[in-house]
Structure 1
Amino acid sequence: MTPSDEQAHGVSQNRALLPLMVVATLALGWILVPFYGAIMWGAIIALLFMPVHRRLLARYKWQRTPTALLTMALILVVLILPFALLMAALAQEVSHFYTLVQSGEVNPTRYFRDVFNALPDWVGALLDRFGLVNFSALQRRVSAALAQGSQFLATQALGIGQLTVEFITSLFISLYLAFFLLRDGESLARTLRNAVPLAPEHKRELISKFTTVIRATVKGNLLVAVIQGALGGLAFWVLGVGGALLWAVLMAFLSLLPAIGAGLVWLPVALYFFVTGGIWQGIALCAWGVLVIGLVDNLLRPILVGKDTRMPDYVVMITTLGGMVVFGINGFVIGPAIAAMFMAVWHIYATTRADTGA
């Protein structure tokens, strides 16, 4: 075989290898889809705690396996145990609330009726014209919606609080993967860098952008959510609103939505205080929500998320909302990460074209 024939044979082998690689990658992705959330959070946990792992490795000069095990023990104490305790307490509170709705002690229609009675006459007439004050129909709809919603929350919270098989499986996969990524992450990253057919400076830019966005999004959004939820729950507890823990967790969850977030919970409660005669409670809750809870969002989120990711606030907000619509709760990480990679890839493309004069 001549050198030209060998070269042609090598080219044909490379052409056949590419489709096989694509098919194998898609097949692997297909079988991992059911666990994509657990795999994603395992990678995120390893990424967040990698600096701790490196400090322990440099300080104690241990082998990678004992250091990774010590890091995993810290993760269990700092992250997993508090989360499990919170979910167990939440499960009890949600179950209690569901029982109150089922027994009729919590009657949403009564609250709507109190609000309607406090409205000006012209507002009541306008609502009546559009058929929006049929309290019998409203009671059926709201009661059914609250019953379904509270039952769903109770099921989910109880599932976590009582450690169901699905939750244990996902948690095991996340922690198992996090351990190996902590132990072997650097060698795996080196292998991936060598496999990506890009210039070294472009690979460094993409990897740096991706890791920065993931860390900033998770740490920033979760920290803001925890602070806002805790502040909102504290205000509800002081004002005597029932189920303060439940509302605190709900506010923390909604705080993942930039700009609107916790206001979807505390603002209706403040309005209810106003229309039912609790003027000072309504004023206090509005002041606390705007000046304290809102300040946390407006002050900390741009610093923790926007500054590190170097993305405009509106891009972070839109991609967070879009990501949560498409991917659910995991979308608050996936959305900004996709946006960051989009911007980085287009920046590399524009720079390359400018350098080549195309």
Structure 2
Amino acid sequence: MNPPASQYTLQQKVFLFLLAIVTIGFGWILMPYAGAVFWGVVLAILFIPLYRRLLRATGQKANLAALLTLASIVVMVIIPVALISASLVQQAVGIYNMVGSGHIDFGQYFRQIIAVLPDWVVSLLERFDLTSMATLQQKLSSFAAQASQVAAKYTLNLASNTFDFLVSMTIMLYLLFFLLRDGHSLAGRIRTAVPLSRKYKQRLFSNFTTVIRATVKGNVLVAMAQGALGGLIFWILHVQAPLLWAVVMAFLSLLPAIGAAIVWAPVAVYFLVTGAVWQGVVLILFCVFVIGLVDNVLRPILVGKDTKLPDYVVLLSTVGGMALFGLNGFVIGPVVAALFVASWDLFSTAEEFHQE
């Protein structure tokens, strides 16, 4: 049992202060590549069972098992993500060129929808000046100008961004090798250093690894499945750039309640109001009864019911995580929320904190 802070000697207090300063400084140094470190830890936690199986298969050769696990991660995760990203950029550029050449005319789509809407809906839209093509085009032009400025900025920094990405990827893979090989001993040292009793550390570390796996498998993998199914039905129905919309649906599927419907619902409405009734009906039925049920079927299998957060907590933590950490927030937000719930659950069940 550690002594209370009032019983520390001056020498111990100075050392603890120095320890805090050095720790903060080390974290500050790692901050530029915090994303690489974070994903290295996440992938190590996810693939440690594979590493242990390979370790037994290779006769306890740790370096070889770690290299084989690393190669598996590159083949199963990194290469597919790189290929999908390249195809995504290609389709996005294709859509941009088709809009610029007039092959895709959003104004025509807008006029078709307005023409079949009921009079009361048109009147309501007119109150907000949403039926005027001139006003709409002005807003779209303003948005396009801002988007062009942003695109130009990122184009000028493309080489720098690519270099940073390659450096981050190298750091992540390099760190991942050592986390796989030495992760058990490193986790033991961290567990020993944490100033908590054994039973608290055991539950807290167990909750941490469980939450990481639950968040990635329960949110990311389910979102990938929903995005793939959405892209498939878009491809069958000949919707432009199905891969682009599949990726968008995969990201939005991380948000419960609304999720992929933000993408497929407007497309279904467009099909219905423009006379493509069977396409609209097929899209609605597929998305409701197939995509909509993926979460209810896959999440309990991949995660289990014990670590599932309420939908509103997942929604708020995901959006908040995105606002603070960018794309990494899709994982960081729910992980922090789940650890928050686990920590308070640990506190509420600890008898020594509630003695009268």
Alignment TM-score, normalising by the size of structure 2: 0.89
Equivalent position amino acid for 1:340 in 2: A
CA distance in 2, matches of 1:78, 1:51: 15
Equivalent residues in 2 for 1:297-316, closer than 5 Å: 297-305=295-303, 307-316=305-314
- State yes or no: 1:293 paired with 2:291: yes
Greater displacement, 317-326 / 114-123:
317-326
Match of 2:320 among 296, 319, 322: 322
- Which ranges of structure 2 fall in alignment gaps of 5 or more residues? 1-5
Write the letter of the residue equivalent to 1:229. G
Where structure 1 has 5 or more consecutive residues not aligned to the other structure, the ranges are: 1-7
1:155: Cα distance to partner? 9.4
Paired position in structure 2 for 1:178: 176
Distance in 1, Cα, partners of 2:41 & 2:145? 36
**Cross-structure match for 1:33:** 31
Q: Which amino acid aligns with 2:12?
A: N
CA contact (8 A) 2:58 2:64 kept: no
Deviations 1:304-337 (A, max 9, x none): 3462525334433332233223322212221222
Deviation at 1:31, TM superposition (A): 2.1
Distance 1:253 1:347, change over 3 A: closer
Q: 2:129, 2:135 within 8 Å by CA — same for their partners in 1? A: no
Task: Call closer, same or farther: CA 1:127–1:93 in 2, change over 3 Å.
Answer: same
Instruction: Report the Cα distance in structure 1 between the residues aligned to 2:304 and 2:93, rounded to whole angstroms.
Output: 38
Moved more, 177-186 or 325-334: 325-334
User: 1:108 touches 1:142 (CA, 8 Å); kept in 2?
Assistant: no
CA separation of 1:212 and 1:54: change in aligned 2, threshold 3 A: same
- AA at the equivalent of 1:288: F
Distance 1:185 1:330, change over 3 A: same
2:223 partner amino acid: A
Q: 1:273 and 1:356, CA in 2 relative to 1: closer, same or farther beyond 3 A? A: closer
- Letter of the aligned partner of 2:302 in structure 1? L
Q: Who is 2:44 aligned against?
A: 46
**What does 1:93-112 align with in structure 2 at a 5 Å threshold?**
93-112=91-110
CA distance in 2, matches of 1:156, 1:298: 39
Q: 1:195/1:79 Cα in 2 relative to 1: closer, same or farther (>3 Å)?
A: same
Tell me the number of residue pairs that the alignment of Structure 1 and Structure 2 aligns: 351
Q: 1:179 to 1:152 in 2, by over 3 A?
A: farther
Distance 1:115 1:219, change over 3 A: same
Which amino acid in 1 is paired with 2:216?
V
> Following the alignment from structure 1 to structure 2, what is the Cα–Cα distance between the partners of residues 222 and 147?
33
Distance 1:297 1:314 in 2: 15
2:226 aligned residue: 228
Asked if 1:241 is matched to 2:242, the reply is no
Please name the residue that 1:4 is paired with.
Answer: none
Q: Tell me the amino acid that sits aligned with residue 170 of structure 1.
A: S
Match for residue 19 of structure 1? 17
Per the alignment, do residues 347 and 259 of structure 1 end up closer, same or farther by CA in structure 2, a change over 3 Å counting?
A: same
Quote the RMSD (CA, aligned, Å): 2.9
* Residues 130, 140 of structure 1: alpha-carbon distance in 2 compared, 3 angstrom cutoff: closer
Deviation per CA, 1:142-193, whole angstroms, max 9, x where unpaired?
A: 3553676699789989x99xx9212211211111111110011111101101
- Is the Cα–Cα contact under 8 Å of residues 98 and 150 in structure 1 kept in the other structure? no
Task: Determine the structure 1 residue equivalent to 2:128.
Answer: 130
Cα distance between partner residues in 2 of 1:125 and 1:343 = 48
Distance 2:148 2:305 in 1: 38
CA offsets, 1:270-291, max 9 Å, x none? 0001111111111111111111
Percent of matched pairs sharing the same residue: 53
Determine helix, strand or coil for the equivalent of 1:247: helix
Which whole-Å CA distance do the structure 1 matches of 2:154 and 2:257 have between them?
A: 27
State the alpha-carbon separation in 1 of the partners of residues 121 and 354 from structure 2: 66
Give CA deviations for 1:57-104 in whole Å, capped at 9, x if unaligned. Answer: 122214211111111111111111111111111121111111122223
User: How has the CA–CA distance of structure 1 residues 156 and 234 changed in structure 2, closer, same or farther, with 3 Å as cutoff?
Assistant: farther
| 2:276 aligned residue | 278
Question: What is residue 3 of structure 2 aligned with on the other side?
Answer: none
2:275 aligns to what SS in structure 1? coil
The superposition leaves residues 10-55 of structure 1 with CA deviations (integer Å, 9 ceiling, x where unpaired) of 7111111122122112222222222111111111111111110011
